[in-house]
Amino acid sequence: MAGAGPRKGKKDDNGIGTAIDFVLSNARLVLGVGGAAMLGIATLAVKRMYDRAISAPSSPTRLNQSGKRSWEEPNWLGSSSRLLSQDMKTNLSRSLQTLPTESSATDTDFFRPTKPKPSAKRSQVELKKSRLRLSLQEKLFAYYRRKVAIPTDEQALAKQAAVDICAELRSFLRAKLPDMPLRDMYLSGSLYDDLQVVTADHIQLIVPLMLEQNLWSCIPGEETIMNIPGFYLVRRENPEYFPRGSSYWDRCVVGGYLSPKAVAETFEKVVAGSINWPAIGSLLDYVIRPAAPPADLTLEVQYDPERRLFIDFLPSLTLGDIVLVAKPHRLAQNDNLWRLSLRPAETARLRALDQCDSGCRCLCLKIFKAVCKLNPALGHLTASQLTNVILHLSQEESNWSQDVLADRFLQALKGLIRYLEAGVLPSALNPKVNLFSELTPEEVDELGYTLYSSLSEPEVLLQT
């Protein structure tokens, strides 16, 4: 075999050069010229590393007589092997003796992977994040005290004004419209549930309609041509046996369906045109006037020289276990649909969860509501949407103590951004209902951009 015999005339060396020549000469037979060339380059690189290792000095600061460091790159002359001189052997032996030796570093431990020690940089990053969380926690509580929370006396005065006006309206309707089939009206909304923020300026007056069960039925929105879950059509039934006029609410039927718009117009005539609100306001020591359009079913009440309360009249109906309200869809072509009422059940679940573990869900929700109310770019986000974000997060996180408010606030913010990115926010009580269905793509993009921009510095949301 080529290269097997001794090569006369070659300068004697330590055997490294002979081994390299042997490998290269046989490589030509097996790999050909090109393969042998590649192998030669690789072998030369190994040899170069070997020479650099054996030429390392015992001290990295020691300089030779020429002023160059003794471990600098040696001069290569062709592919001849480098001789291992006695000085090199001495330096190599000395270098090996200086390697750290520990009793625990056995032969088996050498091959065992060592656990990486936490770097100082990582510790500093974690410490910085912890400080940022504490800082955000303090700012959230300060923001709640400064902007979110409503003084108790202000809430009490606003609720009392709403109760007084509700009583006057109930008396008027019973006296002037005794044939209108209504159940007892009641107050609802965030002020009534102690979830209102910034100022006590809004409450709902629910006006329940009485419908004959055999004359009306509900059709889910997803079963109609409009295909909108969360909304219903209320259809007039049995017209052949119970002709038009058999029900008081037949006057509000449009195209065979009870129109929430027509019902609202009926109450608008009563609220805005039939009741002498100045006289009632003088009796109650309030200033009462119908609100300007488009809030057609809203009363504006000034119960204090510097405070105003808006009372929304919200017709409602119950068929079986389904509760609907005459709150119109944002798109005009869907104004014949009744909205499924989910808010009372959502609020009840949120409060029940907080009562079980003394959690901060309601506190987190109120901060989000204040941020959206005070930031015009986030005005399209509703209380129901924010409530459902918190409810979804409650299914993932069990710890809702006051100490983790900042963490939950950031998680809810990121979750809201993910929902906006997908364009879908399923209701926690009825997953087939998309709570973003009434938002336009442009509004979704604007909301997502505004919130995403605040991720790096959430404190900017608290500066509004």
Instruction: Tell me the Ramachandran region of residue 233: left when phi exceeds 0, alpha when psi lies from -120 to 50, beta otherwise.
Output: beta
Q: What is the pLDDT of residue 319?
A: 93
Residue 29 reports pLDDT greater than 50: yes
Name the residue with higher pLDDT: 380 or 15: 380
Q: Where in the chain is the domain with CATH 1.10.1410.40?
A: 345-462
Indicate the pTM of the whole model.
Answer: 0.71
Q: What is the pLDDT of residue 23?
A: 56
As a whole number of angstroms, the distance between CA 100 and CA 12 comes to: 36
Q: What is the pLDDT of residue 334?
A: 85
* 292-334 confidence digits (pLDDT tens): 776 668 999 999 888 999 999 999 999 999 999 999 888 878 8
Mean of pLDDT values over 152-161: 95
What's the mean pLDDT when you consider all of the chain?
80
Residue 62 reports pLDDT greater than 50: no
Mean of pLDDT values over 151-155: 94
As a whole number of angstroms, the distance between CA 459 and CA 112 comes to: 47
* 179-232 confidence digits (pLDDT tens): 999 999 999 999 999 999 999 999 999 999 999 989 999 999 999 988 999 999
Residue 359 reports pLDDT greater than 50: yes
Rg (CA), the chain: 40
Q: What is the pLDDT of residue 273?
A: 77
Q: How confident is the model at residue 408 (pLDDT cuts 50, 70, 90)?
A: very high
As a whole number of angstroms, the distance between CA 361 and CA 344 comes to: 16
Residues recorded for the chain: 464
Q: Which residue is associated with the tokens 């009392």?
A: 160
Q: What is the pLDDT of residue 332?
A: 78
The winner for highest mean pLDDT among 23-27, 55-59, 87-91 is 23-27
Residue 234 reports pLDDT greater than 60: yes
DSSP 144: I
Task: Please report, for residues 64, 85, 410, the alpha-carbon distance to residue 60 in angstroms, rounded to integers and kept in the order given.
Answer: 11, 20, 52
As a whole number of angstroms, the distance between CA 55 and CA 74 comes to: 9
**Sequence-ordered list of residues with C-beta below 8 angstroms from that of 256, at least 6 positions apart, any chain:** 235, 236, 239
Name the residue with higher pLDDT: 464 or 241: 241
Element (H, E) at 311: strand 307-319
CA proximity to 316, closest of 198, 446, 189:
189
Q: How confident is the model at residue 50 (pLDDT cuts 50, 70, 90)?
A: low
SS3 286: coil
Q: Where in the chain is the domain with CATH 3.30.460.90?
A: 152-340
Q: How confident is the model at residue 17 (pLDDT cuts 50, 70, 90)?
A: low
CA proximity to 219, closest of 251, 247, 248, 256:
256
Give burial (CB, 10 Å; 0-12/13-18/19+) of 206. buried
Helices (H) and strands (E) counted in the chain, each on its own, are 12, 11
**Second-level CATH architecture of 152-340:** 2-Layer Sandwich (3.30)
Residue 114 reports pLDDT greater than 60: no
Please check whether the domain covering 345-462 is classified as CATH 1.10.1410.40. Answer: yes
